[in-house]
Amino acid sequence: MEYEFTTAADIKKLCSKHKIKISELAKRYESERAGVSHVVVRNRMKKTRDVIWEAIENGIGNKKKSDLKMSGGDAAKMYAQLTNMRDMMSNRVCVRAMAYALAIGEQNALMGRIAAFPTAGGAGVVPGVLFSSSQHFHAGKRRLLRAMFCASAVGIVIASGATISAAKGGCQAEVGAAAAMAAAGLIEMQNGTVEQCFDAAAITLKSYLGLVCDPLGGLVEVPCIKRNSIAAMAAIGAGDMVMAGIKSFVPFDEVVRAMKNIAETMSPKLRETALGGLAATPTGNKIKKKLGLPIIK
């Protein structure tokens, strides 16, 4: 297999050997793996992109609350702020990214159609960052697609080296992984180098190491949805640092190894079981009571 990779080192080697970007490598990897043409691979990603865009549009236009009234309507509030930027500290890209990330999370909670990117719990981060920044750059649909391919390649490195399941590794494996992917995709959209992509991914993932998965009542709503939108800001921040010339001191592959380490020592109570953390607070117990689940003292 010519385009096989599982680590960032593999990706760097292959990219410099073939003089290609990460996105092109990801496309060739998939077409080789599945035995289909590049066109088929690109069309599948286009479909993912369209589903995401539909979810964003539905989300920012939605004012309905979820069944337990834990989420809903926040994306619309955030998006409305774009017309009143004077009250905002961050710029339009960030505000829009946060609105988009909230939109996807809320749609997921409301049983709307989404693309798990890389999982349902962290599905808002990559769309938030990449769709908002592509609008900022007036980037064509192709450039957005390239950034999505780049982000997915980084996701494969994390999934192969550690995990992307919160049941195994806590939230660092879902929202953390998604933020790292988004940061790398953002750098590729800005025509950064392969090294820069992994620097941004490493800086982001380092900030999310150890984050636990403790959703109220086990539902993917609180704190997941807002966590997605904050993670989008983190990814944009890391991207800016890298564009300013800052590098990650620890290489990405080592950060992934650290994440695996942490995942293995993390208590099962903090891995999607709703037995610890925020899930075990009085507010968390209230939700559990509504769902008829046992209360934690």
Is residue 110 near another protein by the rule CB under 8 A?
A: yes
DSSP string, 212-247: -B--GGG-S-TTHHHHHHHHHHHHHHHHHHHHTT--
Tokens of 1: 């297999």
Shorter beta-carbon distance to another protein: residue 36 or 82:
36
Is residue 135 near another protein by the rule CB under 8 A?
A: no
Q: Closest distance between another protein and the C-beta of residue 48, in Å?
A: 5
Query: Which one of 16, 18, 38, 40 is in contact with another protein (CB under 8 A)?
Result: 40
Packing angle between helix 194-208 and helix 8-18, nearest 10 degrees? 170
Tell me, residue by residue from 196 to 225, as one string, x for binding to another protein by CB under 8 A and - for no binding: ---------------------xxxxx----
Query: Which one of 11, 22, 94, 164 is in contact with another protein (CB under 8 A)?
Result: 164
Query: Which one of 10, 20, 53, 67 is in contact with another protein (CB under 8 A)?
Result: 67
Alpha-carbon distances, residue 77 vs 74, 82, 223, 268 (angstroms): 5, 10, 18, 36
Is residue 295 near another protein by the rule CB under 8 A?
A: no
Q: Closest distance between another protein and the C-beta of residue 30, in Å?
A: 4
According to DSSP, the residues that pair with 213 across neighbouring strands are: 271
Alpha-carbon distances, residue 16 vs 78, 92, 243 (angstroms): 41, 35, 20
Identify which range of 160-168, 230-238, 241-249, 275-283 contacts another protein by CB under 8 A: 160-168
Tokens of 120: 């349902």
Using DSSP, state whether 103 is helix, strand or coil. Answer: helix
Contact (CB, 8 A) for 203 and 234: no
Is residue 293 near another protein by the rule CB under 8 A?
A: yes
Is residue 282 near another protein by the rule CB under 8 A?
A: no
Contact (CB, 8 A) for 287 and 70: yes
Identify which range of 45-53, 134-142, 206-214, 263-271 contacts another protein by CB under 8 A: 45-53
Identify which range of 12-20, 41-49, 85-93, 254-262 contacts another protein by CB under 8 A: 41-49
Tokens of 110: 């409301």
Query: Which one of 108, 132, 133, 248 is in contact with another protein (CB under 8 A)?
Result: 108
Alpha-carbon distances, residue 122 vs 42, 77, 182, 193, 238 (angstroms): 23, 21, 11, 26, 18
Q: How far apart are CA 90 and CA 84, in angstroms?
A: 12
Is residue 162 near another protein by the rule CB under 8 A?
A: no
Is residue 117 near another protein by the rule CB under 8 A?
A: yes
Query: Which one of 18, 47, 77, 289 is in contact with another protein (CB under 8 A)?
Result: 47
Identify which range of 9-17, 26-34, 187-195, 246-254 contacts another protein by CB under 8 A: 26-34
Tokens of 165: 């399941």
Instruction: Specify the residue for token string 């399941």.
Output: 165
Binding site for another protein (CB under 8 A): 4, 6, 26-27, 29-30, 33-36, 40-41, 44-45, 47-48, 51, 67-68, 107-120, 148-149, 151-153, 155-156, 159-160, 164-165, 167, 181, 217-221, 291-293
